[in-house]
Amino acid sequence: MTASHHPRALAIACIVALAGMTQARAADITALTLYRSDSAALYASKGDGSIDDGYAVVREQRALNLTAGIHDVVIGDLPDSLDSEALALSFPGGGARVISQRLLLAQGANAALTGLIGRNVDVLGNDGQPLASGHLLRVSDGLLVRNDHGDNTLVNHYAAVRTSAGDFPTGSSLNLRVDAARAGQVNAVLSYPTSGLGWRAAYVATLQPGGGCRMQFESRASIANRSGRDWHDLQLTLIAGEPNMAKASAPQPMMAMARGFNAKAESAELPQQASLADYRSYTLPAAVDLPDGSVSQVPLYATRTLDCERTALYENGGGWVPPQPMLGRDFNLGGGNAIVGTLKLQAFDSLPAGYLRVLTADRNGTAQFIGEGRINDTPKGSDASITLGTAFDLRAERTRTSFKVDKDGRTLDEAFRINLSNAGDAARTVTVREHPNRWRQWTLVSSSNKPSQQTADTLEFRIEVPANGKAVLDYAVRYRWTAEENPQP
């Protein structure tokens, strides 16, 4: 049976009316396990539609109205992007089993209606009169509706859809063929991975006044929902670490203050931390809401005061060592003049990867932003460092003062001079970090200042530069190699 009325409106009006539901969720809370994602699209303040980045595992309690024997059941209100191979429905109380399942993706012009599949709807014409009423079975070129007598109506032209629920679900839907031992309402558990959800740590350090380095340290979790679906009354667990994602087609995690966050219970408790295989988990103490298109923040640890270390750093080269001695004159000349400010702290507990914003008070006592950097996953007791930015009043100039290669003696001598200047009104200590990496065998022959640190690939000096003044560092190194290490004549 096919119904056709006035031409279909360009925009579909979806009218929500309060009434009973033929399919409802059980009262049990939905559990969501959320994995870390650094996708900029998830946390962006602008953007339309759902996002494919991020990874979450959902466990929902659903109450399904079943009839005895083999029949079809539709579960709607699913996120836009799912891992269809990992989607599963089970009946913990027994009495029913799933024979087969098919995922219908929310896409195209009818994506907003896909979440209504399986619910009672009224399909209305332009005059407001119903064209068909009953269970919505399919959303495609038209709407397939089955009434209480088992008659099917395909509606091709309509103006609005009215649902009997207090909300208007969106997203994909799952068609199930179920074999039930008896008729009645049965509780089921639906689990699936999905994208469009992710979290990462967000840290704020406010430097305290004084000569030393002390900071007030705040730890939060930023939680993004771009899944195309609202989530209510969630039991939320956050996973810190990097599990391997093998399937390219599956949801993928990519390695502002809260809006839309609603804690269902007032609680001063912090997330409960635990080990999970090689990773860390943080379980929130209260149920939360995550509206679609929101970025929420919750505390990870209590705010505390920490010691820290600030450094004005001038660095040349890196830890790379070539496969044989590099004898060319122009290797690793360096020559930049920027001196950067760095900040280092020791992790008081496991710090999940995220971004650290650093503030300090200006002359009026107002906290001002002075830099931001990424902190990787940092175990308790380990150091975390970020670069704050380029120092305004400090400059450096690096020049080579000597270069000599003795191929017969298999040695190379090289010397550098580093001029440091400080245009500020206070004396500064500059850390000069050099990496003698022409070859792995080298020795420091001479230096105008004693190294503060020397390792297999690093020389480090701490140079005092007076206010409105200059300082100079001279040093020389000698490289040695064997005939086997460098067979060149």
pLDDT tens by residue, 38-67: 888 898 887 666 677 899 999 998 888 899
pLDDT higher than threshold 60 for residue 25: no
Please report the pLDDT score of residue 27 as a whole number. 41
pLDDT tens-digit profile of 311-337?
A: 999 999 887 888 999 999 888 777 689
Whole-number Cα distances in Å, 380 to 66, 190, 345:
51, 36, 11
Mean pLDDT of 91-97: 88
Instruction: Pick the more confident residue, 452 or 103.
Output: 452
Report the chain's mean pLDDT, rounded to a whole number.
Answer: 84
pLDDT tens-digit profile of 266-282?
A: 344 788 888 888 888 99
Please report the pLDDT score of residue 108 as a whole number. 52
pLDDT tens-digit profile of 232-244?
A: 889 999 999 888 7
Q: Is 487 exposed, middle or buried (0-12, 13-18, 19+ CB in 10 A)?
A: exposed
Instruction: Pick the more confident residue, 219 or 6.
Output: 219
pLDDT higher than threshold 70 for residue 430: yes
Please report the pLDDT score of residue 252 as a whole number. 54
pLDDT higher than threshold 80 for residue 199: yes
Please report the pLDDT score of residue 13 as a whole number. 37
pLDDT higher than threshold 60 for residue 190: yes
pLDDT tens-digit profile of 117-168?
A: 777 889 998 888 889 998 888 777 788 889 888 888 999 888 888 887 655 5
User: 120-124 and 160-163 as β-strands: parallel, antiparallel, unpaired?
Assistant: antiparallel
Percentage of residues of the chain with pLDDT beyond 90: 50
pLDDT higher than threshold 60 for residue 16: no
pLDDT higher than threshold 90 for residue 215: yes
pTM recorded for the entire structure: 0.73
CA distance 480 to 476: 14
pLDDT tens-digit profile of 340-383?
A: 999 999 999 999 999 999 999 999 999 999 999 999 999 999 99
Confidence of residue 427 (pLDDT cuts 50, 70, 90): very high
Domains of the chain: 2-194 (no CATH), 317-347+383-480 (2.60.40.290)
CA distance 41 to 47: 8
Which positions ≥6 away from 445 have C-beta within 8 Å? 413, 415, 476, 477, 478
CB 214 within 8 A of CB 64: no
Please report the pLDDT score of residue 88 as a whole number. 86
For 113, phi and psi rounded to 5 degrees?
A: -95, -15
